Amino acid sequence: MSIKHLRTVFASQLQPGQPAVTRPGTVLDEPGGDYEALHKQMKRLFNSKPGKKYGRFSDDIGECPFSAWLKDYLAQKQSFESLTNRLFGQWQELLNSSQDEHQGHLMLVHEALADSDVVYLLIVESDSALQFDASQSLDATDVLSLSRLNLALRVELDDWQEDTGRNTYLTLVHARGTGETGDLFLRLVGFTNQVDVEKETATFLDAVEAFARQADAPDEAGKVRARAYEFCKEQHALGEPVEVSALSGYLDEDQPERFRQFVSRDQEIPEDAVLHPDHRKVKKLVRIAGSGGGMSVSFSSDLVNQAIYYDREQDALTITRLPKALREQLQRYLEDRQ
């Protein structure tokens, strides 16, 4: 089983200005079964969540003591139960000051993987559902949401303990619309943003485009872009960043050093660099898209000068080999107009 320890607390703050109500559960050691399935689903949501942030723990331990408590736990200076007692107590104190209503489960999971240990801190939300009670009358009940995850933190324990001062070991899900509860969660975990995802996305795209232009033929350049996008998409699905050295081997299995040597020499990107590109924007490598003026166009970049032609002088786009569904819509529209 991958879960070493797991514990949850139900926290409810439905009357701002009044103390929050908390009901902590017992510590579960290697719980297995349904808990493993729940955690697996939460990880799936975590990895697929767009717009994640990457960073480090705040140096202000007095204001954000979670990192100090976690360090003591890993050093066996306190138990998992003691760690969660402190963490859940601070969560209650933070909610006491909230002016927003909140209700949900805070779950801390220590997971032991084959090559590393990871800690997840998640707020598991609930959905309302209907059921028939014993008298066959409809009754509303709450069930755990397996489709929403708006606040969560992952701590790469090995990276944190081997911290060299420049790596990022925290990954944060902080969705829009979480309001004051989201701000309190940030205070609870002591997250400090260290990565400019937009800048690293641009760096990634520029490096791949520059490398692709070195190809001998347009189709070879297209293959480079496609493989770079595939690699980035796979890393996103795993919830992992893009290591330049690993990407280099993926782009050219025969000469796995080519890409990282190229970007180190021509793009001034260290060969051991780790990037966190936004996988949604990386799609630009394989798709061309734009919208405006009542029009939206999107197509694979491989189709340029094959099925799609752009005339720069006329600023005109010619599309051949129309998709069947589009052609049928156009024909029906023209027939109706006639």
**Mean of all residue pLDDT scores within the chain:** 89
Distances, alpha carbon 208 to alpha carbons 140, 179, 188, in Å: 53, 37, 38
Give the closest residue to 108 by CA, choosing from 185, 207, 220, 192: 185
pLDDT at 172 over 90: yes
Banded pLDDT at 1 (limits 50, 70, 90) = low
Q: Do residues 23 and 9 touch, judged by C-beta distance below 8 A? A: yes
Q: 277-290 pLDDT, tens per residue?
A: 988 888 888 888 88
Q: 69-95 pLDDT, tens per residue?
A: 999 999 999 999 999 999 999 999 999
Residue 203 C-alpha from the chain's centroid: 19
The pLDDT value recorded for residue 335 is 84
The strand pair at 170-174 and 126-132 is best described as unpaired
The pLDDT value recorded for residue 315 is 85
pTM for this structure?
0.78
pLDDT at 189 over 90: yes
Average pLDDT over residues 144-164: 91
Q: Across the strands, what pairs with 104?
A: 11
Give the closest residue to 47 by CA, choosing from 152, 133, 140, 144: 152
Domain definitions of the chain by residue range = 3-193, 197-283, 299-337
Q: 299-311 pLDDT, tens per residue?
A: 787 777 778 888 8
pLDDT at 200 over 80: yes
Q: Scanning the structure block, which residue is given the tokens 């024909």?
A: 331
CA angle 16, 173, 273 (to 5 degrees): 150
In this structure, the dihedral spanned by the alpha carbons of residues 115, 119, 123 and 128, taken in order and rounded to 10 degrees, is: 40
The pLDDT value recorded for residue 166 is 59
The pLDDT value recorded for residue 165 is 62
The strand pair at 287-292 and 274-275 is best described as unpaired
Q: 11-49 pLDDT, tens per residue?
A: 998 888 788 999 999 999 999 899 999 999 999 999 999
Question: Could you give the percent of the chain with pLDDT greater than 90?
Answer: 48
Q: Scanning the structure block, which residue is given the tokens 């791949």?
A: 208
SS3 string, 46-105, reads HHHCCCCEEEEECCCCCCCCHHHHHHHHHCCCCCHHHHHHHHHHHHHHHHHCCCCCEEEE
Q: Do residues 253 and 223 touch, judged by C-beta distance below 8 A? A: no
Look up residue 169 and give its amino acid.
Y
pLDDT at 188 over 90: yes
In this structure, the dihedral spanned by the alpha carbons of residues 4, 40, 274 and 210, taken in order and rounded to 10 degrees, is: 170
- Distance, CA of 105 to CA of 7 (rounded, Å): 10
Range among 37-51, 128-142, 257-271, 308-322 with highest mean pLDDT value: 37-51
Query: What one-character DSSP code corresponds to residue 304?
Result: B
Q: Which residues of 176-210 are buried (b: 16+ CB within 10 A; e: fewer)?
A: eebebbbebbbebbbbbeebebeebbebbbebbee
Banded pLDDT at 150 (limits 50, 70, 90) = very high
Q: 202-256 pLDDT, tens per residue?
A: 999 999 999 988 887 777 888 899 999 999 989 888 888 899 999 999 998 888 9
The pLDDT value recorded for residue 249 is 93
